[in-house]
Amino acid sequence: MARYSPNLTRLFLRQNPLSVQSNKPQFRNLGAGVDGSGEHSLQVQDQSPIPDNVQGLNQIMVQGIWRTIRTRPRWEQTLISDFPSVNFFDRYVLNGLLKQQANGLLSLRFFYWLTSQPGFFPDHSSCNLIFSCLLKAKASKAASSFIKSVDFTPEPDLLEAYIRCLCESGDYENALEVFDEMKSIGICPSLETWNSGLSALILASRTEEFWKLYGNMIEFGVAGDVETVDYIIRAFTIDKNVDEGHKLLMQVLGDGFVPSNAAFNKLISGFCKDGHYSRVSSLLHNMIAKNRTPDILTYQEIINGLCKRRMTHEGLRIFNDLKNRGYAPDRVMYTTMIHGLCKMKWIDDARKLWFEMIQKGIVPNEYTYNALAYGLCSIGNLKEAQELYKEMLNSGYRNSIVSYNTMIRGLSSFGMTKEANAMLAKMEKDGISRDTGTYNSLIKGFCEEGNIVEGLGLLNELHERGLQPSAASYTSLVEKCCEMGNLEEAKELWADMLNRGVEPANCVHDFIICGLLDKGYELEGFEWLDAMLKKNLKPKRQTFEGVINCLSEGDKLDDALYVLDCMFDIGYAISGCVFQSLVRKLCRNDLLDVERCLHNILE
């Protein structure tokens, strides 16, 4: 996580009271070097008027020159001979031509042609014109290439336009370099430019660079505005420091300034993820009180957060309330709601929303199809899921790893591993890479059918493809090996997990312990259980009782009582049959204080 400094925020609010007006700060040291020597000074564009005879010449010939450049593939070879009366090397002619051409890339080609001619030396004003044309065309890459190939320093306003152009194209790295160059020669960008840089870094989720740039802005003494606050709040939410963002919001609201809906929405999303719904309610009230009417995106964040936390019933209530109040949910919100309902296996409600969505003219996309298919698979309605899958493909949507995994998981879970395996092969033909989840579903399906050989083969294939297995890749295999009494294979799988850095699930320990007990290896089972407890893992109650039974049957009553104490410490209650069996064993052993043991057990 990127680091931030809360002191920067306090400094911003203390020294620079927010103003709705975005007055640009004045540039410092324009035209002067850092040390006054003028070494890094910026040249001022030549503003001398173009002579009348050149203007007249341009009016007649400019269109013909540019028409030639646009229409002839190899105009470079004949342009001088086509227009023998035009001195292309004359800076007035050149600048006049450039000012009449709106196509930045065509102007750049023309400029490069001129620079290749013997005796031509570009002047500063011509370079600024070319650079300006490229920026107006949003050609940030061409502008970057030009400024590196031509030795000139753009005017301050062009440097700022360059930064904004880079930021709009997402090239924040080059934008930060220009910020640093302006800082090194003492030029302070305008607030608009600062905000452009901050916005680009937020969109890229690069908060470490964000806080550094914001710190530079504070050093220049630039007063931020409400837009700046929006970016700061979003930076806090990206850093998962929602409380700090909320604190800043409350502070600026108290000062009479109201950020945009986007800032509120990000905080709402953050609090939804943390489950702080009282804060969500408070933010909604603040939005309404400050004339920031919650929009569809606001409610989408709330509903999405509720569904992810399996509070689908509350999410559905808000969803229906929105419709009653005149809001028109979009496809994203319908898909979010359908997915949440399907995760809860409320398939009838999901279907209702599906048909309601279609009746309103909202066309499902691949995410909507996959959400409903997932729900149908989860309840074993594979026929309808397959029909929906075919409908998705017939609607023009391509297969994806999500759609394949959804269907493979559903088929594997309900005994259709042959069909699931066929889909795995089809993935290869469609050029869609398999992931660990794809293999895990099939491995589990084969193990549930008792086909452990196929399951092991898929695990080996997973390794051969360079995928990182998860605990689920092994769990079903270990369980089935233990059920079949193949403990050596189960232990090898265990060792392979550890060698690959995979942390076994708790239930894997339980499977191996129960397998050892079934084979009569009660002491080894007791050792595995003891190892679990030392790692602060929680065995199942049945595992405890199985170990107690085996130890007591083997007259290892001290160990049995130790396991019983551990079982009680965790909070389990002992079942009646295990209790009776242990008491009978204790009663037969004259060396034990049966009354004391019974008292401890009953407590």
Count other C-beta atoms under 10 Å from residue 47's C-beta.
6
| Burial of 74 from C-beta contacts in 10 A (0-12 / 13-18 / 19+) | exposed
Inform me whether the pLDDT recorded for 313 exceeds 80.
no
Would 281 be classed as within a structural domain?
no
Would 291 be classed as within a structural domain?
no
Q: Which two tokens stand for residue 141?
A: 């890459």
* CA atoms within 13 A of residue 319's CA, in its CB half-sphere: 30
Count other C-beta atoms under 10 Å from residue 11's C-beta.
15
The pLDDT score that the predictor gives to residue 267 is: 87
What is the C-alpha to C-alpha distance for residues 513 and 438, in angstroms, rounded to an integer? 29
Report the share of the chain in percent with pLDDT over 90: 30
Inform me whether the pLDDT recorded for 372 exceeds 90.
yes
User: Among residues 234, 251, 268, which one ends one of the domains?
Assistant: 251
pLDDT-derived band at 597, boundaries 50, 70, 90: low
The pLDDT score that the predictor gives to residue 602 is: 54
Selection from 187, 192, 224 nearest residue 27 by Cα: 187
Residues 93 and 188 both lie in one domain? yes
What is the C-alpha to C-alpha distance for residues 500 and 466, in angstroms, rounded to an integer? 12
Please report, for the domain that includes residue 110, its CATH number. 1.25.40.10
Inform me whether the pLDDT recorded for 22 exceeds 50.
no
The pLDDT score that the predictor gives to residue 568 is: 87
Count other C-beta atoms under 10 Å from residue 91's C-beta.
18
What is the C-alpha to C-alpha distance for residues 60 and 395, in angstroms, rounded to an integer? 57
* CA atoms within 13 A of residue 217's CA, in its CB half-sphere: 31
Higher pLDDT, 93 or 237: 237
Q: Per residue in 425-448, pLDDT tens?
A: 888 888 888 999 999 999 999 999
Residues 17 and 94 both lie in one domain? yes
Residues 116 and 227 both lie in one domain? yes
Residues 575 and 531 both lie in one domain? yes
Higher pLDDT, 460 or 430: 460
The identity of residue 552, as a single letter, is S
The pLDDT score that the predictor gives to residue 13 is: 45
State how far the alpha carbon of 135 is from the alpha carbons of 54, 108, 435, in Å.
Answer: 27, 12, 43
Inform me whether the pLDDT recorded for 8 exceeds 50.
no
| Burial of 111 from C-beta contacts in 10 A (0-12 / 13-18 / 19+) | buried
Q: Which two tokens stand for residue 411?
A: 């088929």
With beta carbons less than 8 A apart as the criterion, state whether 147 and 131 touch: yes
Residues 188 and 62 both lie in one domain? yes
Residues 483 and 525 both lie in one domain? no
The pLDDT score that the predictor gives to residue 594 is: 53
User: Among residues 466, 497, 528, which one ends one of the domains?
Assistant: 497
Higher pLDDT, 510 or 561: 510
The pLDDT score that the predictor gives to residue 100 is: 66
Q: Which two tokens stand for residue 113?
A: 């042609």
User: Among residues 432, 467, 497, which one ends one of the domains?
Assistant: 497
pLDDT-derived band at 264, boundaries 50, 70, 90: confident
Selection from 81, 44, 43 nearest residue 65 by Cα: 81
With beta carbons less than 8 A apart as the criterion, state whether 503 and 532 touch: no
Give me the number of domains the chain comprises: 3
Would 337 be classed as within a structural domain?
no
Would 334 be classed as within a structural domain?
no
Residues 425 and 524 both lie in one domain? no
Q: Which two tokens stand for residue 267?
A: 């905080």
Q: Which two tokens stand for residue 155?
A: 């005017």
Inform me whether the pLDDT recorded for 1 exceeds 60.
no
pLDDT-derived band at 37, boundaries 50, 70, 90: very low
With beta carbons less than 8 A apart as the criterion, state whether 97 and 58 touch: yes
Residues 485 and 542 both lie in one domain? no
What is the C-alpha to C-alpha distance for residues 521 and 365, in angstroms, rounded to an integer? 56
* Residue where the block lists tokens 């028409």: 67
Sign of CA dihedral 594, 599, 601, 602: positive
Inform me whether the pLDDT recorded for 479 exceeds 80.
yes
Count other C-beta atoms under 10 Å from residue 295's C-beta.
14
Residues 492 and 512 both lie in one domain? no
Q: Give, for 328, the enclosing helix (H) or strand (E).
A: none
Would 527 be classed as within a structural domain?
yes
Would 287 be classed as within a structural domain?
no
The pLDDT score that the predictor gives to residue 102 is: 67
Higher pLDDT, 123 or 199: 199
**What is the chain's length?**
603
Q: Which two tokens stand for residue 362?
A: 């909202």
* CA atoms within 13 A of residue 42's CA, in its CB half-sphere: 21
Would 561 be classed as within a structural domain?
yes
Chain centre distance of CA 464: 28
Inform me whether the pLDDT recorded for 423 exceeds 80.
yes
The pLDDT score that the predictor gives to residue 152 is: 76
Would 82 be classed as within a structural domain?
yes
Residues 91 and 193 both lie in one domain? yes
Instruction: Find the helix packing angle between 172-184 and 156-168, rounded to 10°.
Output: 160
* Host domain of residue 446: 399-497
Stretch 377-396: mean pLDDT, rounded?
Answer: 90
Residues 444 and 568 both lie in one domain? no
Stretch 553-579: mean pLDDT, rounded?
Answer: 83
Residues 99 and 240 both lie in one domain? yes
What is the C-alpha to C-alpha distance for residues 278 and 535, in angstroms, rounded to an integer? 37
Higher pLDDT, 295 or 173: 173
State how far the alpha carbon of 350 is from the alpha carbons of 254, 334, 339, 376, 562, in Å.
Answer: 43, 9, 8, 10, 51
Q: Give, for 424, the enclosing helix (H) or strand (E).
A: helix 417-429
**What rounded mean pLDDT belongs to the chain?**
80
What is the C-alpha to C-alpha distance for residues 337 and 320, in angstroms, rounded to an integer? 11
